[in-house]
Amino acid sequence: MMLPDEVGSHVRTTRISWDPHIVLGAAAVLVVAAEYGRELVRPVPWSLVELVVATAALALVWWSRERLRLGRLLAVTLVLDVAWILVRRHHTLGLDFEWRDVYAPQGEVLLDGRYPRSQYPAGAVSLFALEAWLGGETTRFVHAGLMVPFHLVTVAAVWSLRTAWSSWLAAIVAFWPLHAWFWEYRFDLVPTALLAAGLALALRRRWELAGASLAVGAAVKWSPALAVLPLVAYLLVSRQARAALRVTAGFTLALAVVYLPYLAWSPREVLHAYSAQGGRDITDESLWHLPLRILGLEDRQGYAYPAFVSVGPPDWASSLSVAVQIAALVALVGLAVRVRTLAAAVALAALMPVVFLMTNRVFSVQYFVLLLAAWAVAGALLARGVREALGVSLVALAATVANVLIVPYPIHVPNVWEAMSAVRFALGLSLTGWLALRAARLRSEPAAGAG
């Protein structure tokens, strides 16, 4: 008969004896089976099943996080991604037609020798052309397959931060199947991977490569470019002008390699993306819709379900949203000038795209792919102790759950989506603010960990 202390010791040993890779692998099988179950048994809430499975798996991994190994984690990530793509050939969960109506046609136009009139930057258009070249008329699975290596790069980049919590947060980025629909249909994993890689390279003081990675990410979607500003500000104030010049040079050269040939060939069409995006108004997806809706300041009526269009805001509201966005970004750069460690500056650099996207007039649910990775980078560098690491993880994941309950797992009850939108922004902005303040208080580089 075991004494109470012996029983407690036995429970703790059993609880942490799970091999985290086996747990994640088994959970991946269950998630893919649940996804296939959509095709066989329609009334079952399979999204909830996947959420429960993923949450339970990560809870078990938490207790054995010290045993995580990068190679095995990447193998599980690869299995989940590929199996998801294969089972989705049965069209479960419904299709998204961005790949058919936007990506593929624009890629075909570029292959035909003309630059398309696109709302996306030149790097994204190049990606669409590659997909069209590889996939012909059907690029859906080519697109999904090309996203897999970028997912792996994102996981490896978070892991490579080598702090006490980087391996755990890399596991979250690797295994969060609620984002699999975004991985499959959208291309946000590309700028996400390049942002995470650039930040990891900056932490290692590989300045030219860091700048180049962020530049290529910005050529696909603009927001990674903002990460350069806190890095350069920190380096200049800390009297590392040569390093600041190297980051800037790497960024400028890589951006020029992507853009200059297109600008020389078809400048009007290339620059159209900037004028088109700059002219967009506040949409019902954005943070700004919520206060305007409460105050009754929108022309559009009827918000039972999201329409993902302009809400018809007053002119001053759009100007105010831009002013607040710029002020928030400037504040982060101002914090970078005052921080004492490179880790804090890199964390603030990770938060720049987060602040930009969350305060933008136009918001899309797939942005949470980048947001989760950015929070993981900042959390790995800033969290001190179990409470902080677990808090960052839980708040970030809760925000993603609220987000996917808008798309692709909507709750079909009028106006619930607005409540979910309020939750995702409240959690996301609170976490971002806490991380920014944590960076300002960081006085030493994070201790190395198993990651």
314 falls within a domain: yes
235 falls within a domain: yes
449 falls within a domain: no
Indicate the pLDDT class of residue 448, thresholds 50, 70 and 90. confident
Mean pLDDT value of segment 261-278 = 92
Look up the domain containing 289 and give its range: 4-441
pLDDT of residue 13: 42
CA 9 to the chain's CA centroid: 39
Mean pLDDT value of segment 248-261 = 98
**Over 219-266, what HEC string results?**
HHCCHHHHHHHHHHHHHHHCCCHHHHHHHHHHHHHHHHHHHHHHHHHC
446 falls within a domain: no
Mean pLDDT value of segment 1-15 = 42
pLDDT of residue 90: 65
Residue 1 has pLDDT above 60, yes or no: no
Helix, strand or coil, per DSSP, at residue 365 = coil
Greatest Cα pair distance, the chain, in angstroms, is: 81
Q: Which residues contact 97 (CB under 8 A, 6 or more apart)?
A: none
119 falls within a domain: yes
pLDDT of residue 144: 92
Round to whole Å and give the CA distance between 373 and 133: 30
Does this model's pTM top 0.85? My answer is yes
Residue 153 has pLDDT above 60, yes or no: yes
CA atoms within 13 A of residue 161's CA, in its CB half-sphere: 37
Round the average pLDDT of the chain to a whole number and report it.
92
Q: Is the Cβ–Cβ distance between 313 and 295 less than 8 Å?
A: no
- Domain count along the chain: 1
448 falls within a domain: no
> Which of 252-256, 335-339, 411-415 comes out lowest in average pLDDT?
411-415
Mutual angle of helices 20-40 and 46-63, in 10-degree steps: 180
400 falls within a domain: yes
pLDDT of residue 137: 60
172 falls within a domain: yes
pLDDT digits (tens, 9 = 90+) for 393-418: 999 999 999 999 999 999 989 999 99
Residue 254 has pLDDT above 80, yes or no: yes
Indicate the pLDDT class of residue 438, thresholds 50, 70 and 90. very high
Neighbouring-strand partners of residue 448: 163
pLDDT digits (tens, 9 = 90+) for 34-87: 988 887 777 788 899 999 999 999 999 999 999 999 999 999 999 999 999 988
pLDDT digits (tens, 9 = 90+) for 226-238: 999 999 999 999 9
